[in-house]
């Protein structure tokens, strides 16, 4: 035998659901504004609208004092992984690859690459590597985006 639902209880259920939604919303807003929760750390609703931007800076230093910041697109996946997951292990793996690779400057593309594509590409002797990952943090009080250094590592290699 099925239970009969009174016609007067149906609107009450709707009001209860809407009321619970507003209680939950109020709790989330309280946590964000009073306890410094972010949309990603327990703040809820704004998770997909919050600023979550990271910037990766990689600099290779040569024995001649030249600094290179642009790489062949072959390394995009490695660099994207470091930017998304800035862990010491990923930094170390990339530094070992940089140290063991013969690097060439390609003047046509104005970047360094691991393959000599033409006669104008000159080999460069890499002596150091800097890797920095920055994130953007939104300052609620001043309503500005502020860069924050998440992780920075420097690797010095022996000169060949």
Per-residue pLDDT tens over the stretch 102-140: 888 877 777 788 876 667 678 888 899 999 999 888 777
Confidence of residue 7 (pLDDT cuts 50, 70, 90): confident
Note the pLDDT of residue 117.
66
What are the Cα distances from residue 58, in Å, to 24, 75, 76, 101, 115?
43, 11, 12, 16, 19
Note the pLDDT of residue 64.
85
Per-residue pLDDT tens over the stretch 39-88: 555 555 555 555 567 888 899 898 888 888 887 777 888 888 888 888 88
Residue for token digits 């024995």? Answer: 63
32-40 average pLDDT score: 63
What are the Cα distances from residue 137, in Å, to 50, 102, 128, 143?
10, 38, 29, 10
Q: Single out the residue of 91, 103, 74 nearest to residue 154, CA to CA.
A: 91
Q: Single out the residue of 60, 51, 53, 49 nearest to residue 104, CA to CA.
A: 60
Give the number of other Cβ atoms within 10 Å of residue 149's Cβ. 10
Of residues 5 and 137, the one with the higher pLDDT is: 137
Note the pLDDT of residue 35.
66
User: What is the side-by-side strand order in the sheet with 122-124?
Assistant: 111-113, 103-106, 122-124
Note the pLDDT of residue 65.
84
SS (H, E, C) 43-109: HCHHHHCCCCCEEEEEEEEECCCCEECCECHHHHHHHHHHHHCCCHHHHHHHHHHHHHCCEEEECCC
129-153 average pLDDT score: 87
Of residues 36 and 86, the one with the higher pLDDT is: 86
């Amino acid at each position: 035998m099925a239970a009969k639902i009174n016609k007067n209880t149906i609107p009450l259920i709707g009001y209860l659901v809407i009321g619970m939604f507003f209680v939950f919303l109020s709790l989330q807003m309280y946590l964000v504004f009073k306890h410094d929760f972010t949309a990603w750390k327990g703040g809820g609703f704004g998770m997909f609208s919050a600023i979550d931007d990271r910037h990766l800076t990689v600099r290779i230093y040569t024995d001649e004092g030249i600094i290179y910041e642009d790489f062949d697109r072959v390394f995009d996946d490695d660099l994207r992984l470091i930017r998304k997951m800035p862990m010491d292990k990923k930094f170390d793996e990339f530094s070992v690859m940089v140290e063991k690779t013969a690097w060439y400057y390609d003047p046509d593309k104005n970047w360094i690459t691991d393959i000599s594509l033409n006669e104008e590409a000159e080999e460069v002797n890499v002596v150091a590597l800097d890797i920095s990952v920055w994130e953007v943090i939104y300052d609620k009080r001043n309503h500005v985006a502020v860069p924050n250094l998440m992780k920075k590592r420097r690797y010095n290699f022996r000169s060949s």
